[in-house]
Amino acid sequence: MKTSRVVNFREVMITVILSMICGVAYFGWGFLYNVMEAGLPGSSEIIYGLWFVASILTAYIVQKPGIAMLSEVAAAFVEMIFGGQWGLSTLVFGLIQGAAAELIFAGFRYRTFNMGTVILAGMASAAASVPIDYYQGYIGDLTTGMLVLKIALRLLSGALFAGVLGKIVGDLLAKTGVLNSYQLIRSKTDRKPSF
């Protein structure tokens, strides 16, 4: 069954609502990030992937072009207006991280949203954030070994906290019935049972 790739109002609304929730959470994670960095520099990479979950979660639910980028920018905007510590650069991070996830979903033509795809999208967002950090001077003075470790931890965090967690949250929401009119549910019911 062929479905429309045009995003409708209802899909934009759930994207915005979930992005707002994630944006508030992003603001809170900033404090946790600071505590972890103060306690053990570099340990914050373990939770870095939490900043990409909006794009993965909403794209997994809606499964249409533009949703990953829209949601990550919207979440970054909410984080910024709540007084996020990174100011306007938060929007740059949101745009680039959302675009990276979007490219992965586009590469699969918005037809494959399994665990492997969402993990790859989370890792792409993580990878896209590294050059921004380097440009802004956050990681430019690290030794090669520490830089490699930081990138590896960030990729792992993107895979787990954005990819796996985003899919798990989407599946939990689906079980409640609130997503019955969204592509996530339609794509599951359109599949033929395999014997």
| pLDDT tens digits along 75-92 | 999 999 999 888 899 999
Choose which CATH entry (1.10.3470, 1.20.1070, 1.10.1760, 3.40.50) describes domain 9-186: 1.10.1760
**CB neighbour list of residue 90: distance below 8 Å, 6 or more residues apart:** 76, 77, 79, 80, 84
Residue 192 has pLDDT above 60, yes or no: no
Determine the pLDDT at residue 127. 97
Domain residue ranges in the chain: 9-186
Match 């956050």 to its residue by tokens.
Answer: 138
- Evaluate if residue 33 carries a pLDDT over 60: yes
Nearest to 33 by CA among 91, 100, 86: 86
| Residue 67: predicted pLDDT | 96
Rounded to two decimals, the pTM is 0.89
